[in-house]
């Protein structure tokens, strides 16, 4: 009986050590009636507290896809670009700081939502900030309209 108990306790302990909180999610939604094919230029609104360069990564990612991409502080409406891009980045500490979650929203020049994308990777499935930006922007650009 004691051997069974010790074996069970060892197995539960081993399972606790080998299983972790491995969560990842990557989604994108295009708003009904939205057409991103008409968007040729984007303005990335740089978050004032962004000291890790996420805004610049988003701008560079849109630029490499052929968009005219500018970045700067929030401006008065309407924006001069075809779309305005905003983002929320959440960081977490686990031995080192890493980007836990990134949400990017694309809005028209009057700031009505066109598309939104999100990526969440916990410490076991973490991605670099450029990879997370690429994942979200790719999903937004490839999103199909909802019915």
Integer Cα distance of 38 and 30 in angstroms: 14
Ramachandran quadrant class, 90 (left: phi over 0; alpha: psi -120 to 50; beta: rest): beta
- Residue 9 has a pLDDT of 47
Q: Please, what sign has the CA dihedral across residues 109, 86, 32, 130?
A: positive
The per-residue b/e assignment along 96-127, b for 16 or more CB within 10 angstroms, e otherwise, is: eebbbbbbbbbbbbebeebbbbbbbbbbeebb
- Residue 123 has a pLDDT of 76
Domains of the chain: 23-141 (3.30.160.670)
- The one-digit pLDDT tens for each residue of the chain (147 residues) are 665 544 444 444 444 333 445 668 888 999 998 989 999 999 999 999 999 999 999 999 999 999 999 999 998 888 889 999 999 999 999 888 989 999 999 999 888 999 999 999 987 888 999 999 999 999 999 988 766
Strand pairing category for 68-72 and 41-45: parallel
Integer Cα distance of 118 and 101 in angstroms: 7
Q: In a 3-state reduction of DSSP, which class is residue 39?
A: coil
- Residue 111 has a pLDDT of 82
Integer Cα distance of 91 and 101 in angstroms: 7
């Amino acid at each position: 009986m004691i051997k069974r108990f010790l074996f069970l306790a060892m197995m539960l302990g081993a399972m606790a050590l080998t299983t972790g909180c491995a969560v990842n999610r990557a989604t994108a939604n295009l708003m009904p009636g939205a057409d991103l094919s008409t968007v040729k230029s984007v303005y990335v609104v740089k978050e004032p507290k962004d000291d890790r360069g996420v805004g610049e990564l988003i701008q560079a990612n849109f630029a490499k896809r052929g968009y005219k991409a500018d970045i700067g502080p929030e401006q008065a409406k309407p924006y001069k670009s075809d779309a305005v891009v905003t983002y929320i980045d959440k960081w977490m500490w686990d031995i080192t700081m890493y980007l836990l979650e990134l949400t990017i929203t694309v809005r028209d020049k009057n700031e009505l939502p066109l598309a939104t994308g999100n990526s969440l990777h916990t410490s076991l499935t973490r991605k670099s900030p450029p990879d997370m930006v690429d994942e979200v922007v790719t999903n937004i650009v490839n999103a199909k309209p909802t019915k």
